[in-house]
């Protein structure tokens, strides 16, 4: 089925595969920060308020720049900012639509706290607020699903970090340099590449009719989360994620009391840059759970640097989940139930 171009076109009428295949171009996003003047206040903490793909971009940046950032950095995925937020906190309100209610709530609180504020959005109330109050603002290209705009968001975050002096210049250039290499990798997953040579199609075939769980390590936990949300939104499947070493302190035992015939597929997302003991935990855990849990499929991240591996893993997640949607007979793009929920929540 996945090698029939006509079937792909019928089941992917919105061109999700094409959108996924163009994500490498986002790495070269020329970020323009409007109203980005730095008022020279000392930033002593960073909060990114965002949901879904906006939060994912922040989680990736937090992991990537962990060894460089020397101030606390928190990702807030709810309605309220932490109590420590004040005038020396950089609060970045990020929402592709610009209308995410949790993010708007946090923005209002950041204004009350007198924080240094920046906004990332493609439209909506966030953009209106940024222009009205001349807050630092990055306008994202519009017209695609928010989950497919994650690399735009990541570039915007890094540019804002550089602008406000919390990291040294040069990281945005590192992202841009991944683009040509990513294209060469992404081309291998295109619809016209047969399953026998197409890693994305092969992983999708493993997953049909099963619930997936994705495991990451310290460096790849955000990727495990990314694969989970791609499964949810693109393939319309329930999925789960966890990370090592925490998994060994609880979930590890949860697999031991049931027979192996479980409707699960297990993916370990592994970076060769990971701590050696984390890598050992992946291997030993899978061996000790033999006969109690389906054997894991190891996704070894390609790339020489962590940012290459992260972006490669994110784009692969979209391809695999889109192919799984096609196998499931569902359109990968619409998320009608989420939109219905938003309307009902907004109905006063």
C-alpha distances (whole Å) from 307 to each of 7, 184, 238, 267, 335 are: 34, 16, 28, 20, 29
Q: Check if the beta carbon of residue 91 is closer than 8 Å to that of residue 49.
A: yes
Active site residue 192: no
Catalytic residue among 233, 243, 274, 308: 233
Q: Check if the beta carbon of residue 292 is closer than 8 Å to that of residue 258.
A: yes
Helix (H, G, I), strand (E, B) or coil at 203: helix
Length of the chain: 348
**Which among 90, 88, 71, 66 is positioned nearest to 307, based on CA atoms?**
66
Tokens of 286: 């899978």
Instruction: Find where tokens 């950095």 sit.
Output: 73
User: Can the peptide bond before residue 95 be classed as cis, meaning omega within 30 degrees of 0?
Assistant: no
Active site residue 249: yes
Backbone CA torsion sign across 316, 320, 326, 330: negative
Catalytic residue among 30, 42, 132, 249: 249
What is the DSSP annotation of 8-47?
HHHH-TT-HHHHHHTGGGGGG----EET-----PPP-EEE
Q: How many CB atoms lie under 10 A from the CB of residue 44?
A: 14
Active site residue 201: no
Catalytic residue among 25, 111, 125, 342: 342
Query: For residue 50, how far is the Cα from the chain centroid?
Result: 12
In sequence order, the β-bridge partners of residue 239 are: 212
- Residues taking part in catalysis: 233, 249, 342
């Amino acid at each position: 089925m996945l090698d029939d171009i006509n079937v792909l076109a019928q089941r992917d009428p919105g061109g999700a595969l094409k959108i996924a295949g163009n994500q490498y171009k986002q790495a070269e996003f020329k970020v323009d920060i409007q109203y980005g003047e730095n008022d020279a206040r000392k930033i002593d903490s960073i909060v990114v308020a965002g949901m879904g793909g906006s939060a994912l971009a922040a989680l990736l940046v937090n992991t990537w720049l962990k060894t460089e950032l020397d101030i606390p950095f928190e990702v807030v995925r709810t309605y309220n900012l932490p109590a420590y937020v004040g005038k020396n906190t950089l609060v970045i309100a990020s929402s592709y639509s610009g209308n995410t209610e949790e993010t708007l709530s946090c923005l209002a609180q950041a204004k009350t706290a007198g924080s240094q504020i920046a906004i990332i959005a493609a439209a909506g109330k966030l953009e209106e607020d940024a222009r009205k109050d001349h807050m630092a603002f990055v306008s994202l290209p519009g017209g695609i699903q928010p989950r497919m705009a994650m690399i735009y968001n990541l570039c915007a975050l890094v540019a804002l970090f550089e602008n406000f002096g919390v990291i040294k210049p040069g990281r945005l250039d590192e992202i841009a340099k991944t683009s040509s290499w990513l294209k060469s990798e992404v081309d291998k997953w295109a619809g016209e590449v047969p399953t026998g040579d197409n890693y994305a199609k092969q992983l999708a075939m493993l997953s049909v009719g099963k619930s997936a769980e994705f495991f990451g390590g310290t460096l790849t936990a955000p990727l495990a989360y990314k694969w989970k949300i791609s499964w949810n939104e693109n393939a319309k499947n329930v999925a789960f994620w966890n990370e090592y070493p925490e998994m060994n302190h609880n979930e590890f035992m949860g697999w031991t009391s049931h027979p192996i015939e479980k409707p699960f597929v297990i993916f370990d997302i592994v970076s060769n840059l990971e701590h050696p003991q984390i890598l050992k935990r992946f291997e030993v855990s899978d061996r000790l759970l033999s006969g109690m849990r389906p054997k894991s499929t190891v996704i070894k991240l390609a790339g020489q640097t962590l940012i290459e591996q992260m972006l490669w893993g994110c784009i692969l997640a979209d391809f695999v989940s889109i192919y799984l949607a096609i196998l499931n007979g569902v359109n990968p793009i619409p998320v009608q139930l989420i939109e219905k929920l938003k309307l009902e929540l907004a109905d006063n």
